[in-house]
Homo-oligomer: A and B are copies of this chain.
């Protein structure tokens, strides 16, 4: 379609990857009885260890109400447990169960495998450029979002 702006082409590729990646992830998670939102909770707990629901809500950038629902589902699936806070009887501490921890380990293994599939047959030098440029893009986007209310993409 007539060689466009290289930046536009790069963004197009990113967006296409987003779509494809998102669908594959969703299918993979569904096969494990998970949803993207619930897997976020698991990843977060694994990164930070046991956490208050309020802290989880902030980290996931969602409402406390939503965390209640997500933790409900994960607890029912036996992937997390709700524990009493040692000093604050209002607070709930959410922690990964053994099954939950095992499941996230599996997700991480899948992710590494995925990285291999996506970038196979490409020299490390190119991959390094991609990682560098995209990491910088994330930073720029964060700054832009913080400055202006919204930069605006689409999908």
Contacts and interface: CB of A to CB of B under 8 A. Distances in A.
Best-buried of A5, A24, A113 by chain B (most CB within 10 Å) = A24
Contacts of A126: 129, 133
* Contact-size category for A: 35 or more
Given A6-B131, A13-B131, A131-B10, A24 B110 contact: no
Please state the number of chain copies in the assembly. Answer: 2
A114 B21 contact: no
A130 interface: yes
Interface of A: 5-18, 20-25, 27-29, 31, 36, 39-40, 43, 61, 107-108, 110-120, 122, 124, 126-131, 133-138, 140-142, 144-145, 149-155
